[in-house]
Amino acid sequence: MTTTARKLMPFVLLFAGPLLLRAQDMKLPPEVERLSAKAKETVEVNMEGPMLKWASQFLSKEDPDEQKAARLVANLKAIYVRSFEFTEEGAYSSAEVEPLRAQFRSPEWSRVVGVRSERDGENVDVFFHLEDEKMAGIIIISAEPRELTFVNIVGPIEIDQLADLGGEFGIPKLKTKPLSSKPLAKADKGDHK
Partner 1 sequence: MTPTNQDPNLLEEALRNALRREEAPDGFMDNVLARRAKQESPAQARRSQWFSLFSQPFVRWAAFAAVSICLVFGGVHYRNLQRERARGEAAKQQLMLALRIAGNKLQLAKEKVHGINQPQPPKTTPARSRS
Instruction: State the amino acid at position 88 in one-letter form.
Output: E
Judged by CB under 8 A, the number of residues near partner 1 is 48
Handedness of CA 121, 24, 163, 84 (dihedral sign): negative
Rule CB under 8 A: say whether 93 interacts with partner 1: no
Q: Which residues contact 141 (CB under 8 A, 6 or more apart)?
A: 97, 100, 101, 124, 125, 127, 149, 150, 151
Residue choice 9, 12, 21, 113 for contact with partner 1 (CB under 8 A): 113
> Distance between the two ends of the chain, CA-based, in angstroms?
31
Rule CB under 8 A: say whether 151 interacts with partner 1: yes
User: Which residues between 154 and 183 bind partner 1 (CB under 8 A)?
Assistant: 159, 162-168, 170, 172-174, 176-177
User: Looking at 1-146, which runs of residues are DSSP E strands?
Assistant: 41-48, 78-85, 109-115, 123-131, 134-144
Rule CB under 8 A: say whether 142 interacts with partner 1: yes
38 versus 71: smaller Cβ distance to partner 1: 71
Burial of 5 (0-12, 13-18, 19+ CB in 10 A): exposed
Run of H or E including 147: strand 147-154
Rule CB under 8 A: say whether 36 interacts with partner 1: no
Rule CB under 8 A: say whether 140 interacts with partner 1: yes
Rule CB under 8 A: say whether 115 interacts with partner 1: yes
* Residues near partner 1, by CB under 8 A: 43, 45, 47, 51-52, 54-59, 65-66, 69, 72-73, 79, 81, 83, 113, 115, 117, 122, 124, 126, 138, 140, 142, 149, 151, 153, 159, 162-168, 170, 172-174, 176-177, 184-185, 187
